[in-house]
Amino acid sequence: MSGDLPAAGPDAAALEAAARVEAGRLLFARECRFLRGVVALDGLPPADLPELAFSGRSNVGKSSIINALTGRNGLARTSNTPGRTQELNYFDLGGRLVLVDLPGYGFASAPKTEVARWTRLVESFLRGRSVLRRVVVLVDSRHGLKDSDRDMMSMLDRAAVVYQVVLTKADKITPAALEATRERVLAEIAKRGAAHPCVIATSSQTGLGLADLRAELATLARGESAT
């Protein structure tokens, strides 16, 4: 009888969520190796795998998040010097997904000519990379969205590239302040056409949110169905 059938409610949803987390764990546990640094579009690797790019203000913790996601402390270089990432750095994640570390933005210490060159490179990359599945826009949870973040999101909107805001350094503020920042960001990106409607708060120090972020990003990999 139909009354004897098991309910497919919260238990099914919990199992699905757990499966996504496990898929993310398995993907990011794969070998991740540096492929190349790209300073011009003619140096881009073949477009053979789905690509996921990481973008954010200088010192937002971009390299730290990449290292934390992959469990490899020395994979992406970290530095206190703004603008150290001056090229598109490519990493192969187990032959399933390519991670791209984009130059940081929003700093004033680098020469304007260099900033202009990086900006042109990133704009051209965003417009012409057909395998780019998503850009993760990293935002410092202590400060929320800045004008430079909005400029980046506008660039992505114009390029029709899906992007997702991820808050970093969530361990540096109180849970209430973190939730307030997340709600403000959600309200703002709701007005943008290319924004993915999910904001994840993370900490590369404590591991907060990393499992959820891996689960989300694993849907973009070869062999997975994107949602």
Confidence band of 2 (pLDDT split at 50, 70, 90): very low
Taking the C-alpha atoms of residue 202 and residue 141, their distance in angstroms, rounded to an integer, is 9
Confidence band of 117 (pLDDT split at 50, 70, 90): confident
Model pLDDT for residues 197-209, shown as the tens digit of each residue: 999 999 999 999 9
pLDDT of 178 over the 50 cut: yes
Q: Name the percent of the chain lying above pLDDT 90.
A: 71
Best-predicted range by mean pLDDT among 1-5, 7-11, 37-41, 109-113?
37-41
In the Cβ-directed half-sphere of 203, how many Cα atoms lie within 13 Å? Answer: 13
Question: Would you call 86 exposed, middle or buried from its count of C-beta atoms within 10 A (0-12, 13-18, 19+)?
Answer: middle
Taking the C-alpha atoms of residue 64 and residue 213, their distance in angstroms, rounded to an integer, is 14
Length of the chain: 227
Q: In what order do the strands lie in the sheet with 132-140?
A: 32-38, 88-93, 97-101, 51-56, 132-140, 163-168, 200-201
Q: State pTM to two decimals.
A: 0.88
C-beta of residue 172 within 8 angstroms of C-beta of residue 142: yes
For the chain, domain boundaries: 33-218
Model pLDDT for residues 160-170, shown as the tens digit of each residue: 999 999 999 99
CATH number 3.40.50.10420 given to 33-218? no
